[in-house]
Amino acid sequence: MRTAIFRMTVLVAVLALLPAAVASAQSVGTIAGTVQDESKAGIPGAVVTARNEGTGAAREAVTDDEGRYSMPLLPIGTYTVSATMAGFRTQERSKVMLEVQASLALDFVLGLSSLTSEVTVVSQQAEVEVRRSDASLGQLINAQQVAELPLNGRNFVQLALLGPGTVTGRAGSFLAQGPSSEVSYRGSMSVSAQG
């Protein structure tokens, strides 16, 4: 009897904590890349620091033998990322936007230091980012972009066409089943994503 009550208590506790774990796992991203010298050779033992500009929290990673580093499960936000190594100039990138489930590749090339000097590179958000860590396609359209986009007639379904690999579908598809359809309020527009 005690074993059954104990098992039931453990099951209830696990089920109660599972949604919180899933929700927190979705609001993270990854920053990874390489640290190299000017001859494109990897620098082992370099320290890469990512500091959240909003909270001030910092995370460090040390490069492996080939100069690679990875910082998974970083909370989303704007970061300042720097790479340092004794004998090399420090390189820093600020205003690096990390969004939900993003996998950013930040590579650093450190020059030899003759005198104490520092290089600061201000990151500009790229129009298209190449994901080298996985082959999945996706796009996040934030509230500012939605507000600034010139949507014809404010048809929200047009936002779907901004994602990679989406095209308008043929007439008679699910989203264009005519005036009696449950989705007829979307008009005659249909969307096909990745085939």
DSSP string, 56-78: --EEEEE--TTSEEEEEEEESEE
H-type helices in 1-71, by residue range? 2-25
**Between 195 and 32, the higher pLDDT residue:** 32
Instruction: Work out the pLDDT band at 185, boundaries 50, 70, 90.
Output: very low
Rounded average pLDDT over 35-50: 96
- Taking the whole predicted model, whether its pTM rises above 0.95 is answered as no
Average pLDDT over the chain reads 78
Strand partners, 72: none
Residue 44, SS3 per DSSP: coil
Contacts of 150 (CB under 8 A, 6+ apart): none
Q: Pick the most confident of 2-6, 95-99, 138-142, 144-148.
A: 95-99
- The Cα 181–Cα 109 span in angstroms is 57
pLDDT (mean) for 128-152: 71
